[in-house]
Amino acid sequence: MRGSLFDEHGEAQTTSQASYCPCYLGDGLVEQNPETWAAALFAVTREIVQWSERSNASIDAVSVTAQRSSAIPVDQNGVPLYNAIMWQDLRSSQICNSMQAHTAAVYEKTGLRISPVFAAPKFSWFQQQEPCIYRNAYKLLVIPDYLIFLMTGKFVTDFTYGSRTLLMDLHSLEWDDDLLKLFKLDKEKLCCLKRQGSVIGHTTESFKSRTGIRIGTPVVTAGGDQQCAALGAGVMKNGSVQVTTGTGSFVIASSDELKLDPEMRVLCNVSAIPGKFILEASILTTSALYSWIANTLYGEGAGKSEIFHRLEEEANSSPVGSNGVITLPYFQGRGSSDWNTLAKGSFSNITLATTRGDLARSVLEGIAAEIAENVDLLVEHRGEIDTVLVAGGLTNLPLFNQIQADMYNRSILLPSNKETTSLGAWVSAAVALGIHTTYASAWEVATKGSSAMTYSPIEKNVEIYQRLKADKEHLYKVLESAGVYTRSLAFQTHATRNI
């Protein structure tokens, strides 16, 4: 969790952050104790408040953006009744599989494919597998709802988060009774829907006692993290695309209209800008996969910075194409285009001559190849792309940025301000508070004088990666059509029963 204090010109004055990690429990289960977010929220806010007091700066508002689809049941006092089921968690796969006949109808209403990634199947899992928890839950929250409750005491959410649940009708921007019936959920357990980019409440005495922030400070819901990342990057009109590489990766294009994909490959969500939408393709494991290979192959007896330094150094030493090694980066299932939750990660073409550097580079190439497929999907669905902006943790690696340009066969722009998500949250708050009248004018003020680094594709690398992308996709289709992933699931179930 990160908190940044911005001035009225969109310049960050100070930043505080707190680190934590979800629990990967095996068999696709991923949980996190919500109290880690509460503790982080209090610590980060307290540190920002203390800085502001030393600097004689007033805090005029808090703008909130967060990850969008993790599920938290809470009681009437906002106390969590169960660990959060994280967005990558696959325990609701069976629920989703049983609903596949409804896929087209659900997509038409929500812009989403039925998938364990989204909140409704997780809520349904509580209803079916933990009925006591579900019965005692006063509200079913996602992470920003929980944070906003801790600040304001209100159970509210906004349209961007609603559009990631599978329960909100994109056309009416309301909870849909037919969808609630399909997932066997009670409407009263959901938060009240509000417009994104609005003041959603004010800080309480309870929040002041934990952080020192003054009572009554306005709290703005800026919209989901990926929506804010796109806004902070300036993706506000047709033809621009943002690629964000976080725990997972997201390819986002702005759309002035609700534009659904007839083949349901591209998702459509509510934008951070009211009245607009985003077209989105998702890759479920990117930085999480990079961290996994760092810890697995490089982690022994080394500090974190040393681990990543060695990995980057060795990946750089491997040639374009990783000496033939191909990574399928489906370590927590596959997102767009087919949303195959059973898919697994794999390395192919390994020999006794394969090095750690080959494996490390092949992971970066596998991630970029998967993103490239989704960039091409957006081009096919939306039309040619003028600009590809990149952000997120992996863009700290110059090697990965060059791989992206070569894999996409397009120049990419890396803004000098890499904190596009928090900048987008500031832009949203600046409009909500009346500091600026439009999102575009707020963004222009905040980015005035900033620059971007350009990475251009290298022709000989593009040729190699065109073949690699084709080989990777062919390998996935062979494994999927042969039933390898299905047999893997059956083996896991059998092994679990024996245990």
| Identity of the highest mean pLDDT range in 244-253, 450-459, 481-490 | 450-459
- The answer to whether residues 204 and 232 belong to one domain is no
| Residue 186: Cβ within 10 Å count | 13
Query: Helix or strand or coil: residue 2?
Result: strand
Domain boundary among 166, 188, 223: 223
Residue where a domain stops, chosen among 202, 223, 244: 223
- In terms of domains, do 169 and 217 share one? yes
391: β partners: 244
* Residues 2-55 pLDDT 10s: 999 999 999 999 999 999 989 999 888 999 999 999 999 999 999 999 999 999
- The answer on 158 and 172 residing in a single domain is yes
- What band does 304 get if pLDDT is binned at 50, 70 and 90? confident
- How much is the average pLDDT of 360-379? 93
pLDDT at 487: 67
Residue 386 pLDDT greater than 80, yes or no: no
> With bands split at pLDDT 50, 70 and 90, how would you rate the model's confidence at 497?
very low
If asked whether residues 141 and 171 sit together in one domain, one would say yes
Do 340 and 477 lie in a common domain? yes
Q: Residue 495: its pLDDT value, please? A: 38
Instruction: Provide the mean pLDDT of the chain.
Output: 92
The residue assigned the tokens 């245990």 is 499
Q: How long, in residues, is the chain?
A: 499
Q: Is the pLDDT assigned to residue 165 strictly greater than 50?
A: yes
Domain boundary among 172, 188, 223: 223
pLDDT in the model for residue 384:
78
In this prediction, residues 104-115 reach a mean pLDDT of 96
pLDDT (0 to 100) of residue 428: 97
Number of domain units in the chain: 2
- Considering the domain architecture, whether residues 146 and 251 belong to the same structural domain is answered as no
CATH number for the domain including 83? 3.30.420.40
The answer to whether residues 389 and 240 belong to one domain is yes
Residues 275 and 210 in one domain: no
Return the higher-pLDDT residue of 118 and 285. Answer: 118
Beta bridge partner(s), residue 156: 192
The tokens for 269 are 């969500």
pLDDT recorded at residue 489: 53
CA atoms within 13 A on the CB side of 487: 6
Say if residue 156 is in the same domain as residue 12: yes
Structure tokens that stand for 4 in this block: 């940044």
Tens digits of residue pLDDT in 405-442: 999 999 999 988 778 899 999 999 999 999 999 999 99
The domain of 323 spans 226-499
Same domain, 305 and 181: no
Residue 175 shares a structural domain with residue 63: yes
Task: State the Cα–Cα distance between residues 363 and 326, nearest whole angstrom.
Answer: 8
Query: Do 7 and 141 have their domain in common?
Result: yes
* Distance, CA of 125 to CA of 184 (rounded, Å): 10
Query: Given a cut of 50, is residue 220 above it in pLDDT?
Result: yes
